[in-house]
Amino acid sequence: MGKFIDLTAADGVVFPAYVAEPAGKPRGAVVVVQEIFGVNSHIRAVADGYAAAGYLAVAPATFHRVQAGVDMGYTEADMNAGFALKTKVEALPPPGVLQDIQAAINHAAQSSGGKVGIVGYCWGGLLSWRAACTLSGLSAAAPYYGGGMTVGDEPARKPACPVMVHFGDQDHWIPLDTIEAFKKAQPGVQVFVYAANHGFNCDQRGAYNEAAAKLAKQRTLDFFALHLG
């Protein structure tokens, strides 16, 4: 359904993004932010799913500044490589990869002619939370199990658009007490906790939880329908 195009960030860096278009006129747009495994077949399938729901979907390659063409699976070696790449991106001088996400938002708005939401998974959940708080042009954000967003300075951020967050109660990367602290710090954010593990949305991972994934997706679609159209 989709194809890769090149986008240009504010600092002139050119990077690829996977774009999936709906069958008819877009009802809006959704930026899909990858996990630590690149814009792989799962992330492309997620973008295709939002396109099937009527949205223009744009998935920027957020590893491109440190390594091009990342498309990994979910082995332990892939996990280690992904963490290393994430660490490199996080070490970039600010605004780092957020300017690539801003370029994706801008393209999504221009191409769809509608409002733009953002959804992200794992590291992409953290990036989509930061995007909701620091970038322009977003009307809704739905981070999934964003590692790091419940600790440090992240819970003190102020989102500039409505936010819905999905966590799993068996996620050893994101302890439940930090989720509770995040909820207290962000009373305006909708926080849902599922009987599931980290990565529960990904049907290519052992952590996949069909019931949690379906419920979270439906809640997100309803949320986007309300705020994007």
Q: Are 153 and 143 in contact (CB under 8 A)?
A: no
3-state helix, strand, coil in the chain (%, to 5): 35, 20, 40
- Asked if 161 is an active-site residue, the reply is no
Active site residue: 42, 122, 166, 202, which one? 122
Neighbours of 111 (CB within 10 A): 16
Active site residue: 42, 198, 202, 227, which one? 198
Residue tagged 């599931």 (tokens)? 196
Q: Are 96 and 54 in contact (CB under 8 A)?
A: no
- Asked if 6 is an active-site residue, the reply is no
Active site residue: 64, 133, 161, 171, which one? 171
- Asked if 203 is an active-site residue, the reply is no
End-to-end alpha carbon distance in the chain: 22
List, by residue number, the catalytic residues.
122, 171, 198
